[in-house]
Amino acid sequence: MTIRGREFRWLLAFALFVGQAVHVTSAFSGEAAWQSEWEKVIKAAELEGEVVYSASGSHRFLDEFHKAFPKIKTTTVSASCSDIVSRIMTERRAGKYLSDVVRCGLTSAHSLYRGKTLQQIDLALYLPEIRDPSKWWQGKHHYADPEGRYLFVSAGSAYVRFGSYNTDLVNRQATDWLAQKRYAIFLFSQSDDTLNAKQQGLPVQVLDTTGWKEGVGLDPVGGAYALMDKPAHPNAAKVLLNWLLSREGQMAVQRDPESAGRNDSLRIDIPKTDVHPMMRRRDGSKYIVMWNPDWMDGKPADELVKQTLEQKK
């Protein structure tokens, strides 16, 4: 059968129309599917009525979560990360599964990962605004585990703990010594102490390494989020996790006054005015990602120390 030019153009136009219609229908179907599933999770979470969040530091930002989900009560466990891990492991040995969402420093978080106590976070993300990689630094989600699915890193602040100095000599206990000119330089300081001392008018300053050609470390402030594999409140755990990583949640975490401006969210679609200028990521600067999973294995370092000590003997 021969198709004339006019007929061909009509068939082509019809095919394109059908293709676009199918694409639009698929898009709406996908949107409806996640929305419907998310609403089911929220309803189930409200029936559970509670979620347990374990982390060191401030939990004040959870007040914003309560406003968004008033029917879900939050029970918080505030302790050092090592104590949190110890508590979780003790509970599990006793057959108790009382935790839901955990945020720990990377060493502690890896203990939970190696203990096979976690479930995949990537499968628990419902909100398109979270799943969309363009909303995050470098156009991707950041994980601290080798599989890239269990330990979600949500913050990356410029590492300013490398050194502090007395501005009179070189332009807290150790910080006070620095301010009193007993020492000119203080290496690996707690940046909060130095920045607070500077705000009090003392002649101290954090060494700004962002311009160094080697690059500056990017600190995963607060560590990584983890979702327990047998959460006490499975649906409420997903609701809290999604809120924490949402635009609203990350802004609440970032502006928490107790974080002292240290928490620069890896979301790039939120304002950064609450982050201390020295701890903000800067366009064009070179950064060394400090949550590299390969660095979590301490065995090579232990072997090097052991060999050095043996050689010294």
Residue 205 has pLDDT above 80, yes or no: no
Residue 28 has pLDDT above 70, yes or no: no
Closest to 116 (Cα-Cα) out of 142, 138, 147 = 147
Domain boundaries, the chain: 29-155+222-303, 163-207
Give me the pLDDT at residue 22, please: 44
- Tell which CATH architecture fits domain 29-155+222-303: 3-Layer(aba) Sandwich (3.40)
Per the model's pLDDT, the better-predicted residue between 158 and 97 turns out to be: 97
| pLDDT tens digits along 65-96 | 999 999 999 999 999 999 999 999 999 999 99
- The number of angstroms, rounded, from the C-alpha of 250 to the middle of its chain's C-alpha atoms is 9
| pLDDT tens digits along 237-282 | 999 999 999 999 999 999 998 877 889 999 999 999 999 887 889 8
Among 73-82, 169-178, 194-203, the range with the most confident prediction by mean pLDDT is 73-82
Give me the pLDDT at residue 283, please: 85
Reported for 58-64, long-range contacts at CB under 8 A and 24+ positions apart, including other chains, are: 58/256, 58/258, 58/259, 60/256, 60/257, 60/258, 61/249, 61/252, 61/253, 61/255, 61/256, 64/248, 64/249, 64/252
Residue 300 has pLDDT above 80, yes or no: no
Per the model's pLDDT, the better-predicted residue between 198 and 46 turns out to be: 46
Give me the pLDDT at residue 248, please: 97
